Amino acid sequence: MQAKLNTRKISNSFTKQHSQFYCGLACLTSVVKYHGGETTQEKLREESGTTLNGTSLLGLYQAAQKMGFEVAGYEANIENLKELTEPVILHIVKDKTLEHFVVCYGFEKSKFIIGDPASVIEYYTEEELAAVWKSRALLKLTPGKNFVTRKNDSKNKRTWFLQLLKPDYPVLG
C-alpha cells in the first residue's frame, strides 16, 4: 500500500508557466520546490537551452543535473506510474497536437495527481492519462549530494555575509 500523498506540499510547490514555451521549465521548477530547493524559470531557461520552440527532455535533463539532481529518463506505462513515490515529469500531447510537459505527483484514490503548468493541479483517471501520455516518456529526478535546499542555501548566504563582516567586527561591536 502506498503512502498518502502530501497535497499541501504538492500545492505549495506547484508552479505555473510564465509563457507558452515554459511548460517544461515550470515542471522542473515545481519538482525543485517539492524537494525544498529554489530556482526560477529564467535561470532554468538558460541552463536548458529553451527557445521560442520550447524545450526538450534532453534540455530538462541537463538543467536538472546542473541543479544537483540525479536524473534518469524512462519509457514507462501507467502501472509503473502507480508505483512512484516522488514526482516525475511526463511528456504529453494536449488537444491531440500540442506537445506539453506536466508533473505526475503520484496515484491516490484511483486517480493520478497531475500538475499542469498551463492550468492547475488536476486529477486524471488511468484512461484520461493514457489518452494524452502517448510517448510514455518521463524524467525521474532524485536530489543528489549537490542538490541545494533553501535551508542550506540560506545557511550558506548567512555564513558568507558573516565572513564579509568579520574584519569589521571591532568597529561594529
Domains of the chain: residue spans and CATH? 7-172 (3.90.70.10)
Which residue type occupies 29? T
Query: Helices marked H in the chain — which ranges?
Result: 7-13, 23-34, 41-48, 57-66, 78-82, 126-132, 150-165, 169-172
What pLDDT score does 100 carry? Answer: 95
Neighbours of 85 (CB within 10 A): 8
C-alpha cell at 34: 517539492
Please answer whether residues 67 and 60 qualify as being in contact, where contact means their C-beta atoms are separated by less than 8 angstroms: no
Per-residue pLDDT at 138: 96
131, 114 contact by CB (below 8 A): no
- Residue 168 has a pLDDT of 72
Q: What is the pLDDT of residue 1?
A: 46
Q: Which residues of the chain have pLDDT under 50?
A: 1, 154
CB contact burial 89-126 (16+ within 10 A = b; e otherwise): bbbbeeeeeeebbbbbbbbeeeebbbbbbeeebeebee
Q: Give the tens place of pLDDT for each residue, 7-29.
A: 999 999 999 999 989 999 999 99
